[in-house]
Chain A
Amino acid sequence: MSAGARHLYVHLPFCVHRCGYCDFVTLVGRRDGHGAYVDALLAELRLERDALAGEVETVFLGGGTPTFTEPAELARLLAALPPAAEMTVETNPETVTPELAALLGTGGVTRVSLGAQSFRPELLAVLERRAGPDVVRAAFYHLRDAGFDNISLDLVYGIPGQSAADLHSDLAEAIALGPEHLSCYELEAKPGTRFTHAHGEELARQADAMEGYFELVVETLVGAGYRWYETASFCRAGRQARHNLGYWHGEDYLGVGIGAVSTVRGLRWRNRASLAGYLGALAEGRRPPRDEEPVEPETARRERLMLGLRLDEPVPLAHVAGAVDGDALVRMERLGLAERRGDGLALTRRGRFLGGGVTAELMAESPAKSTI
């Protein structure tokens, strides 16, 4: 049995507005409910304290827009969370004022992730983002002024109407700000969303052109001295997102809040997304409604492989015993997509661009079929 999770995720679902492409558990408006929600979070944390290790390494406040939470409630929450070497808060640029930056600094936050997405006004409009490029830059400077030396910028590419030149200029703007970390995601247009409904045809039209965007992102950021340490993540030396590394290394994590997922000691659970159900249960001192699934050791090793291959450092073969399809490995090695490095397994540069397909190949169908 492990000593418990060293990583804590706290979900703050409130948003001023729901962006068209977003598929997170979010709640729009409801400013008056923030206090009750923070109470419930702290209650859940108390109920699950056995799931946490004595010493917590990272805390991540995600959303939603955590910084949209009423400042007093946010401050109360930060004060009550266990201390951690890395404490990250996700922010939306329009919420970042000098006061908020100071509040975060006082609250023990060590790292801020800023959802810039793009610096092109017309593309931000397509994404239904409220902040323009000036607001993004201002938010960044407020954080720097408050003393944050570990800032991550989120960028989205593959936005409907985004040309390669647009993407290049977004990257250049981001680099010019000098963040310690960048996360760059291709826009996922999920079937059935309002966004896909509005922009699906345009996306299909530009699909061929956008195929090269991922390469453009990697080449530009690596050229600017960032390390491509995870499929969608880039950092200055030593500035990896430690919380996320925990996921990618297959470590236990506790998640609190509506919709939050935890994986602790072979059990994974997901809180239901209903706010009323969550508040009601915790107000009565009960666990919130949740769905559980066991993560068998064999499944854990397959997940370890899937997550580990996202990184630029090899996955130790010992950690993924039985999870690798030996024949597929030989094939992927021959195609120059995967390689063994020492006692570990990693994707080559080209393999990382095709990481989804290569990983699907490499995953053994069942433990019996694996040869390593």
Chain B
Amino acid sequence: MSRLDPIRNFSIGAHIDHGKSTLADRILEVTQTLSRREMREQVLDTMELERERGITIKAQAVRVLWRGHQLNLIDTPGHVDFTYEVSRALQACEGALLVVDAAQGIEAQTLANAYLAIENDLEIVPVVNKIDLPQADPDAAAADVAQLVGESPDRVLRISAKTGEGVEAVLDAIVERIPPPEGDPDAPPRALVFDSSYDQYRGVVAFVRMVDGRFTTRQPLRAMAAGTRFEAEELGFFAPDRSPTPTLEAGEVGYVVTGLKDVSRLRVGDTLTAQAGAAAEPLPGYKDVKPTVFAGLFPTDSDAYPDLRDALEKLKLNDASLFYEPETSQALGFGFRCGFLGLLHMEIVRERLEREFDLDLLVTAPNVAYRVLTKAGEELEVHNPSDMPPEVELVEEPYIRATTIVPKDYVGSVMELNNERRGRFHHLEYLSEERVLLVFDLPLAEIVYDYYDQLKSRTRGYASFDYDVVGFEPGDLVRVDVLLAGDPVDALSLIVHRDGAYARGRALVDRLREEIPRQMFDVPVQAAIGSRIIARETIRARRKDVLAKCYGGDITRKRKLLERQKKGKKRMKQVGSVEVPQEAFLAVLNLDGERK
């Protein structure tokens, strides 16, 4: 028997709200990793935001003991934005539980998780959860999931994570069906980094799966892709708190305290090895994840710029995939252009900045990364619409393959929405008599605004949606600028498809005319493609603005009134000579969220 035989490494995949965290909680309880007293819901989701939204943002790895076996549960983020992290976490496993809600059946993320597990050659243990619900149809759900993973329906476990029914059988199945890790305990050490976190006292803590060999405490280590060198200050595993051990052995999952002060020096997917007696080859599959969605973040109060910078620095410590660089906008002042792995990632970062760091932010309309070939033959990657050259040879935009699962009555609605969004039909498949899988290719830019809301409202919330970025394609894209009194408002520039340019320009101009108070002079509001004006309105100058009378009894009150007005003006953003209230920007930046 190999030394690795008693080890099982597995993850849990599920669509949101299908019960992944509840099952994890129950596993900790049944294995007595945590006593009843220590238990609370979503034990592994430690971030406030995770608990509130019921999602996992950071991966966690927890070790439990079950009938003489060491089981390592790697809890991964479920969302597409974190696909790369998830794929690394899955690479650290040999098996996966695929959890399906007995009432809901297969949803888009169930599929995505199943495909990821299959791609990573994981042994899939299908689990139908929530069998205690009155509306549960465990047989149907079991048949669907069995078909999906190529198992026989009687191998599908039926449980209620809520009541604990069937959870022991899940643990037994993990031991029986998932193979022990392969790896050479005597080879030069190699460990896969599948996530990391930042501890303000101890620096970067790497979450690793030992593949070959072993690490010992105080051993000098090296990250093979980044070239970073450090000493293993502490080794250990999570149970679920950090539990130090003198060594990490091949096949085990655990953590390495590195003492590094910069999370970007140790990226997810890198391979750790020893400095002396190093492995010759890193583990396969490292890639430098690139952000796909960009937006400008500006403090509403310009004095808060240093606070925003500090907050981003701190967030970045825990989130190596967050990208930011300083951006100066004439209209919004100093801020940062940030790159995100996707929309959810953007939303999470924004919410954490506002909540954990108490910042008030203006966020520009998100855009995707464009590949541009200039007339001069230069290749650029454009992350900010205002950086788009006016004359280009070719612009390419990222495309996604979007998977939607809906009840069959809503197929038409989804088709219609996707067609409006420049989607290309790929294929359609009946998963059951009632449920249809629709696959479209869409420009990522088209889902960046209000796609989710539209999908939700047009399918009454019955659709589930997932996507993968599949590549870049050329598009007839133009940059629409907004001008106030002839001055461009850089923060409002957009890159849109030529066919949609007029409508978008018109909507922006109309909204600005409503939102910007009349000034002391006429203010033309224009939308333009290059030098061509595509929409125009005028905010007429005020004709009078006087305090009717002012005698001895009125002086204090009138002075205070003017002082208040003056203060109010200070809060306005200055675009050229035009004063634009913050609210106007907010209203315009929200425009797309309200597009009907």
Contact = CB atoms under 8 A, between A and B. Distances in A.
Given A268-B556, A360-B569, A244 B544 contact: no
A181 interface: no
A357 B563 CA distance: 11
A91 interface: no
Interface in A253-283: 253, 255, 259-263, 268, 270
B555 A185 contact: no
Contacts, number: 102
A359 B562 contact: yes
A325 B570 CA distance: 12
Contacts of B567: 365
B542 A354 contact: yes
Give the size range of A's interface with the partner.
Answer: 35 or more
Contacts of B565: 356-357, 360
B429 interface: no
Interface stretch (B226-234, B398-406, B545-553): B545-553
B546 A356 contact: yes
A244 B551 contact: yes
A34 interface: no
A247 B551 contact: yes
Interface stretch (A76-84, A191-199, A302-310): A302-310
A141 interface: no
Interface string B400-426: 000000000000000000000000000
Contacts of B242: none
Nearest to B521: A335
A263 B555 contact: yes
B543 A337 contact: no
Contacts of A215: 543-544
B314 interface: no
B67 interface: no
A298 B567 CA distance: 17
Contact of B559 (A231, A306, A334): A306
B553 A260 contact: yes
B549 A232 contact: yes
B520 to A, nearest CB: 5
B569 A361 contact: yes
A355 interface: yes
Contacts of A355: 545-547
B566 interface: yes
B46 interface: no
Given A359-B562, A365-B566, A255 B552 contact: yes
Nearest to A250: B555
A270 B553 contact: yes
B152 interface: no
B551 A361 contact: no
A214 B555 contact: no
B243 interface: no
Interface in B542-594: 542-553, 555-556, 558-559, 562-563, 565-567, 569-570, 577
B543 A360 contact: no
Contacts of A122: none
Q: Most chain-B CB neighbours within 10 Å: which of A263, A352, A356?
A: A356
A247 B555 CA distance: 9
A365 B577 CA distance: 19
A107 to B, nearest CB: 22
Q: Most chain-B CB neighbours within 10 Å: which of A215, A248, A259, A307?
A: A307
Contacts of B543: 211-212, 214-215, 353
A188 interface: yes
Contact of B544 (A263, A337, A354, A361): A354
A310 B550 contact: yes
A299 interface: yes
Q: Most chain-A CB neighbours within 10 Å: which of B556, B567, B577?
A: B556
Contacts of A356: 545-547, 562, 565
Nearest to A260: B553
Nearest to B543: A211
A253 B553 CA distance: 10
B209 to A, nearest CB: 60
Given A211-B543, A214-B544, A356-B545, A253 B563 contact: no
Contacts of A299: 559
A186 interface: yes
A192 to B, nearest CB: 16
B311 to A, nearest CB: 28
A361 B566 contact: yes
A259 B547 contact: no
Given A185-B549, A303-B555, A360 B544 contact: no
Given A306-B558, A356-B562, A359-B562, A331 B577 contact: yes
Nearest to A251: B552
A232 B547 CA distance: 9
Given A306-B558, A360-B562, A185 B520 contact: no
Contacts of B551: 244, 247
Nearest to A212: B543
A363 interface: yes
Contacts of A303: 555, 559
A185 B548 contact: yes
A89 interface: no
Nearest to A359: B562
Contacts of B544: 211, 214-215, 353-354
A261 B520 contact: no
A268 B556 CA distance: 9
Given A231-B546, A253-B552, 15 more contacts: A214-B543, A214-B546, A215-B543, A231-B550, A232-B548, A247-B550, A248-B550, A261-B555, A303-B555, A303-B559, A306-B559, A356-B565, A360-B566, A361-B569, A365-B567
7 contacts: A188-B548, A231-B547, A255-B553, A270-B553, A303-B559, A306-B555, A355-B546
